[in-house]
Protein backbone atom coordinates (compact mmCIF):
# COMPACT_ATOMS: atom_id res chain seq x y z
CA UNK A 1 0.00 0.00 0.00
CA UNK A 2 1.52 3.40 -1.00
CA UNK A 3 2.27 5.94 1.72
CA UNK A 4 -0.51 8.24 0.44
CA UNK A 5 -3.11 5.52 0.96
CA UNK A 6 -1.71 4.66 4.39
CA UNK A 7 -2.12 8.32 5.35
CA UNK A 8 -5.70 8.29 4.02
CA UNK A 9 -6.48 5.26 6.20
CA UNK A 10 -4.98 6.97 9.25
CA UNK A 11 -7.02 10.11 8.50
CA UNK A 12 -10.17 7.96 8.57
CA UNK A 13 -9.18 6.49 11.95
CA UNK A 14 -8.72 10.02 13.31
CA UNK A 15 -12.14 11.16 12.05
CA UNK A 16 -13.80 8.03 13.46
CA UNK A 17 -11.92 8.19 16.77
CA UNK A 18 -13.25 11.69 17.48
CA UNK A 19 -16.67 10.59 16.21
CA UNK A 20 -17.52 8.54 19.32
CA UNK A 21 -17.28 11.60 21.55
CA UNK A 22 -19.37 13.52 19.01
CA UNK A 23 -22.05 10.79 19.06
CA UNK A 24 -22.32 11.10 22.85
CA UNK A 25 -22.85 14.85 22.45
CA UNK A 26 -25.55 14.32 19.82
CA UNK A 27 -27.38 11.72 21.90
CA UNK A 28 -28.00 14.38 24.53
CA UNK A 29 -30.31 16.11 22.02
CA UNK A 30 -31.66 13.32 19.82
CA UNK A 31 -33.06 9.82 20.47
CA UNK A 32 -30.60 7.30 18.97
CA UNK A 33 -32.66 5.97 16.05
CA UNK A 34 -33.80 9.45 15.03
CA UNK A 35 -30.21 10.71 15.30
CA UNK A 36 -29.05 7.91 13.00
CA UNK A 37 -31.85 8.60 10.50
CA UNK A 38 -31.00 12.31 10.33
CA UNK A 39 -27.32 11.47 9.90
CA UNK A 40 -27.91 9.47 6.72
CA UNK A 41 -30.53 11.84 5.35
CA UNK A 42 -27.93 14.62 5.45
CA UNK A 43 -25.18 12.34 4.10
CA UNK A 44 -27.30 11.67 0.99
CA UNK A 45 -27.61 15.40 0.13
CA UNK A 46 -24.49 15.51 -2.13
CA UNK A 47 -26.49 13.43 -4.64
CA UNK A 48 -28.22 16.70 -5.57
CA UNK A 49 -24.92 17.75 -7.16
CA UNK A 50 -23.42 14.40 -8.22
CA UNK A 51 -24.56 13.30 -11.66
CA UNK A 52 -24.22 9.94 -13.33
CA UNK A 53 -25.63 6.41 -13.14
CA UNK A 54 -26.07 4.34 -10.02
CA UNK A 55 -22.52 3.27 -8.97
CA UNK A 56 -23.46 -0.36 -8.12
CA UNK A 57 -26.41 -2.71 -8.62
CA UNK A 58 -29.52 -1.50 -6.81
CA UNK A 59 -29.81 -4.61 -4.64
CA UNK A 60 -26.18 -4.23 -3.51
CA UNK A 61 -26.74 -0.58 -2.52
CA UNK A 62 -29.80 -1.61 -0.50
CA UNK A 63 -27.81 -4.44 1.13
CA UNK A 64 -24.96 -2.12 2.19
CA UNK A 65 -27.40 0.55 3.33
CA UNK A 66 -29.34 -1.86 5.54
CA UNK A 67 -26.22 -3.50 7.01
CA UNK A 68 -24.26 -0.30 7.57
CA UNK A 69 -26.92 2.29 8.24
CA UNK A 70 -29.84 0.47 9.81
CA UNK A 71 -28.25 -2.51 11.58
CA UNK A 72 -24.72 -1.35 12.43
CA UNK A 73 -25.40 2.25 13.40
CA UNK A 74 -28.84 1.56 14.79
CA UNK A 75 -27.40 -1.02 17.19
CA UNK A 76 -24.37 1.16 18.01
CA UNK A 77 -26.40 4.27 18.81
CA UNK A 78 -28.92 2.34 20.91
CA UNK A 79 -26.07 0.57 22.75
CA UNK A 80 -24.40 3.90 23.56
CA UNK A 81 -27.77 5.36 24.57
CA UNK A 82 -28.22 2.42 26.98
CA UNK A 83 -24.93 3.12 28.72
CA UNK A 84 -21.92 1.98 26.67
CA UNK A 85 -19.16 4.62 27.21
CA UNK A 86 -17.81 6.32 24.08
CA UNK A 87 -14.25 5.05 24.59
CA UNK A 88 -15.28 1.46 25.18
CA UNK A 89 -17.71 1.58 22.25
CA UNK A 90 -14.89 2.67 19.93
CA UNK A 91 -12.84 -0.26 21.24
CA UNK A 92 -15.49 -3.00 21.09
CA UNK A 93 -16.66 -1.94 17.64
CA UNK A 94 -13.19 -2.72 16.25
CA UNK A 95 -13.88 -6.42 16.72
CA UNK A 96 -15.23 -5.89 13.18
CA UNK A 97 -11.62 -6.22 12.02
CA UNK A 98 -11.45 -9.85 13.11
CA UNK A 99 -15.00 -10.56 11.89
CA UNK A 100 -14.14 -9.06 8.48
CA UNK A 101 -10.92 -11.05 8.07
CA UNK A 102 -12.74 -14.26 9.01
CA UNK A 103 -15.63 -13.58 6.60
CA UNK A 104 -13.22 -12.58 3.81
CA UNK A 105 -11.30 -15.83 4.31
CA UNK A 106 -14.52 -17.88 4.18
CA UNK A 107 -16.27 -16.14 1.26
CA UNK A 108 -13.57 -14.34 -0.74
CA UNK A 109 -10.66 -16.74 -0.23
CA UNK A 110 -8.47 -13.96 1.22
CA UNK A 111 -5.95 -15.51 3.57
CA UNK A 112 -4.00 -13.13 5.80
CA UNK A 113 -0.24 -13.69 5.77
CA UNK A 114 1.64 -15.01 8.78
CA UNK A 115 3.25 -11.58 9.17
CA UNK A 116 -0.20 -9.97 9.00
CA UNK A 117 -1.47 -12.25 11.76
CA UNK A 118 1.51 -11.34 13.96
CA UNK A 119 0.76 -7.66 13.41
CA UNK A 120 -2.92 -8.21 14.23
CA UNK A 121 -2.01 -9.99 17.47
CA UNK A 122 0.25 -7.12 18.53
CA UNK A 123 -2.45 -4.56 17.73
CA UNK A 124 -5.06 -6.66 19.53
CA UNK A 125 -2.78 -6.75 22.59
CA UNK A 126 -2.75 -2.96 22.55
CA UNK A 127 -6.56 -2.90 22.40
CA UNK A 128 -6.73 -5.24 25.40
CA UNK A 129 -4.49 -2.84 27.35
CA UNK A 130 -6.78 0.04 26.43
CA UNK A 131 -9.86 -1.98 27.35
CA UNK A 132 -8.51 -2.87 30.81
CA UNK A 133 -8.75 0.78 31.79
CA UNK A 134 -12.24 1.38 30.39
CA UNK A 135 -15.40 0.97 32.50
CA UNK A 136 -17.90 -1.52 31.04
CA UNK A 137 -20.97 0.56 31.78
CA UNK A 138 -24.19 -0.54 33.40
CA UNK A 139 -25.73 -2.72 30.71
CA UNK A 140 -24.61 -6.09 29.36
CA UNK A 141 -27.32 -5.66 26.70
CA UNK A 142 -25.64 -2.44 25.55
CA UNK A 143 -22.30 -4.28 25.28
CA UNK A 144 -23.85 -7.08 23.19
CA UNK A 145 -25.57 -4.57 20.91
CA UNK A 146 -22.19 -3.00 20.07
CA UNK A 147 -20.72 -6.47 19.37
CA UNK A 148 -23.65 -7.14 17.01
CA UNK A 149 -23.00 -3.77 15.37
CA UNK A 150 -19.38 -4.83 14.75
CA UNK A 151 -20.56 -8.03 13.05
CA UNK A 152 -22.94 -6.03 10.83
CA UNK A 153 -20.07 -3.70 9.89
CA UNK A 154 -17.95 -6.69 8.88
CA UNK A 155 -20.66 -7.94 6.50
CA UNK A 156 -21.04 -4.38 5.15
CA UNK A 157 -17.26 -4.28 4.46
CA UNK A 158 -17.52 -7.46 2.39
CA UNK A 159 -20.62 -6.21 0.56
CA UNK A 160 -18.80 -2.94 -0.24
CA UNK A 161 -15.79 -4.83 -1.55
CA UNK A 162 -18.03 -6.97 -3.80
CA UNK A 163 -20.07 -4.02 -5.08
CA UNK A 164 -17.78 -3.37 -8.03
CA UNK A 165 -18.21 0.40 -7.61
CA UNK A 166 -15.40 2.69 -8.73
CA UNK A 167 -16.80 6.05 -7.55
CA UNK A 168 -16.82 5.64 -3.77
CA UNK A 169 -18.20 9.10 -2.99
CA UNK A 170 -21.26 8.43 -5.09
CA UNK A 171 -21.56 4.93 -3.63
CA UNK A 172 -21.69 6.14 -0.01
CA UNK A 173 -24.18 8.87 -0.95
CA UNK A 174 -26.45 6.33 -2.68
CA UNK A 175 -26.07 3.97 0.28
CA UNK A 176 -27.10 6.85 2.58
CA UNK A 177 -30.49 7.01 0.82
CA UNK A 178 -31.44 3.59 2.21
CA UNK A 179 -31.37 3.97 6.06
CA UNK A 180 -33.46 7.12 6.77
CA UNK A 181 -36.97 5.74 6.15
CA UNK A 182 -36.48 2.39 7.99
CA UNK A 183 -34.79 4.22 10.89
CA UNK A 184 -37.53 6.85 11.05
CA UNK A 185 -40.14 4.10 11.15
CA UNK A 186 -38.25 2.34 13.96
CA UNK A 187 -37.86 5.64 15.78
CA UNK A 188 -41.61 6.31 15.51
CA UNK A 189 -42.44 2.85 16.89
CA UNK A 190 -39.83 2.60 19.68
CA UNK A 191 -39.02 6.21 20.58
CA UNK A 192 -42.42 7.75 19.93
CA UNK A 193 -43.70 10.81 18.05
CA UNK A 194 -43.41 13.01 21.15
CA UNK A 195 -39.67 12.34 21.50
CA UNK A 196 -39.17 12.98 17.77
CA UNK A 197 -41.09 16.26 17.85
CA UNK A 198 -39.28 17.44 20.98
CA UNK A 199 -35.83 16.67 19.55
CA UNK A 200 -36.55 18.40 16.23
CA UNK A 201 -38.07 21.50 17.83
CA UNK A 202 -35.36 22.18 20.41
CA UNK A 203 -31.93 21.10 19.16
CA UNK A 204 -28.90 22.76 20.73
CA UNK A 205 -25.94 24.08 18.76
CA UNK A 206 -23.93 21.16 20.14
CA UNK A 207 -26.49 18.69 18.80
CA UNK A 208 -26.57 20.38 15.39
CA UNK A 209 -22.76 20.41 15.23
CA UNK A 210 -22.63 16.73 16.19
CA UNK A 211 -25.17 15.88 13.49
CA UNK A 212 -23.19 17.73 10.81
CA UNK A 213 -19.93 16.08 11.91
CA UNK A 214 -21.25 12.52 11.78
CA UNK A 215 -23.19 13.14 8.54
CA UNK A 216 -20.45 14.70 6.44
CA UNK A 217 -17.07 13.99 8.07
CA UNK A 218 -17.69 10.55 9.59
CA UNK A 219 -20.04 9.30 6.85
CA UNK A 220 -19.38 11.06 3.52
CA UNK A 221 -15.63 11.58 3.97
CA UNK A 222 -14.84 8.68 6.33
CA UNK A 223 -16.79 5.91 4.63
CA UNK A 224 -16.04 7.30 1.18
CA UNK A 225 -12.30 6.93 1.81
CA UNK A 226 -12.78 3.59 3.57
CA UNK A 227 -14.74 2.20 0.61
CA UNK A 228 -12.08 3.54 -1.77
CA UNK A 229 -9.41 1.55 0.08
CA UNK A 230 -11.54 -1.60 0.37
CA UNK A 231 -12.00 -1.64 -3.41
CA UNK A 232 -8.25 -1.53 -4.04
CA UNK A 233 -6.76 -3.78 -1.38
CA UNK A 234 -7.61 -7.05 0.41
CA UNK A 235 -9.91 -6.63 3.39
CA UNK A 236 -7.21 -8.20 5.59
CA UNK A 237 -4.92 -5.27 4.69
CA UNK A 238 -7.42 -2.41 5.07
CA UNK A 239 -9.56 -3.34 8.07
CA UNK A 240 -6.64 -3.56 10.59
CA UNK A 241 -6.36 0.23 10.32
CA UNK A 242 -9.65 0.40 12.24
CA UNK A 243 -7.73 -0.91 15.26
CA UNK A 244 -6.22 2.58 15.48
CA UNK A 245 -9.65 4.20 16.00
CA UNK A 246 -9.62 3.80 19.82
CA UNK A 247 -6.03 5.05 19.82
CA UNK A 248 -6.99 8.19 17.90
CA UNK A 249 -9.87 8.66 20.32
CA UNK A 250 -7.51 8.48 23.30
CA UNK A 251 -4.95 10.78 21.71
CA UNK A 252 -7.53 13.36 20.62
CA UNK A 253 -8.91 13.40 24.18
CA UNK A 254 -5.38 13.93 25.49
CA UNK A 255 -4.58 16.70 22.98
CA UNK A 256 -7.93 18.51 22.82
CA UNK A 257 -9.54 17.87 26.21
CA UNK A 258 -6.52 17.47 28.46
CA UNK A 259 -7.52 13.90 29.42
CA UNK A 260 -4.66 12.05 31.09
CA UNK A 261 -3.09 9.08 29.33
CA UNK A 262 -1.37 6.55 31.59
CA UNK A 263 1.89 4.75 30.88
CA UNK A 264 -0.17 1.65 29.99
CA UNK A 265 -2.20 3.79 27.59
CA UNK A 266 0.93 5.02 25.83
CA UNK A 267 2.24 1.45 25.62
CA UNK A 268 -1.08 0.34 24.14
CA UNK A 269 -0.86 3.03 21.46
CA UNK A 270 2.67 1.93 20.57
CA UNK A 271 1.59 -1.73 20.33
CA UNK A 272 -1.31 -0.89 18.02
CA UNK A 273 0.84 1.16 15.66
CA UNK A 274 3.70 -1.37 15.63
CA UNK A 275 1.12 -4.04 14.79
CA UNK A 276 -0.22 -1.88 11.94
CA UNK A 277 3.29 -1.25 10.59
CA UNK A 278 4.01 -4.99 10.52
CA UNK A 279 0.65 -5.68 8.87
CA UNK A 280 0.58 -3.04 6.13
CA UNK A 281 4.20 -2.28 5.19
CA UNK A 282 5.67 -4.42 2.40
CA UNK A 283 8.22 -7.01 3.49
CA UNK A 284 10.94 -5.20 1.50
CA UNK A 285 10.31 -1.99 3.45
CA UNK A 286 10.42 -3.84 6.77
CA UNK A 287 13.66 -5.53 5.75
CA UNK A 288 15.19 -2.11 5.00
CA UNK A 289 14.04 -0.78 8.38
CA UNK A 290 15.48 -3.68 10.34
CA UNK A 291 18.70 -3.88 8.31
CA UNK A 292 19.16 -0.14 8.79
CA UNK A 293 18.67 -0.45 12.54
CA UNK A 294 21.14 -3.35 12.71
CA UNK A 295 23.77 -1.26 10.92
CA UNK A 296 23.32 1.45 13.52
CA UNK A 297 23.96 -1.03 16.33
CA UNK A 298 27.63 -0.78 17.41
CA UNK A 299 29.64 -3.97 17.10
CA UNK A 300 31.52 -5.64 19.92
Distance CA 12, CA 65 (A): 19
Domain membership flag for residue 251: no
Domain membership flag for residue 68: yes
Domain membership flag for residue 34: yes
The verdict on pTM exceeding 0.85 is no
CA 105, distance to chain mean position in Å, is: 21
Domain membership flag for residue 121: no
Termini Cα distance of the chain = 38
Number of domains the chain contains: 1
Q: Which of 13-22, 46-55, 229-238, 285-294 has the lowest mean pLDDT?
A: 285-294
Domain membership flag for residue 248: no
Contact indicator for 237, 279 with CB cutoff of 8 Å: yes
Full residue range of the structural domain in which residue 21 is found: 3-111+136-235
Domain membership flag for residue 273: no
Domain membership flag for residue 203: yes
CA 82, distance to chain mean position in Å, is: 20
pLDDT digits (tens, 9 = 90+) for 236-284: 788 878 877 877 777 776 676 566 666 766 676 677 767 766 766 555 5
Domain membership flag for residue 177: yes
pLDDT digits (tens, 9 = 90+) for 10-33: 899 889 888 877 888 888 899 989
Amino acid sequence: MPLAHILLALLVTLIWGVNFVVIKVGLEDFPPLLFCALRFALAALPLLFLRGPMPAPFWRIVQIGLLLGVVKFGLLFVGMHLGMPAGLSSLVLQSQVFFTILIAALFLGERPSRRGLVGLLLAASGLVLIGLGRPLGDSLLAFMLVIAAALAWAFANIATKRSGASDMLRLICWVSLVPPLPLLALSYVFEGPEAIASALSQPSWGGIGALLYIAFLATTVGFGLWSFLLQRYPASLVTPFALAVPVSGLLSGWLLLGEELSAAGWMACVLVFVGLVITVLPKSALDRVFSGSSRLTPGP
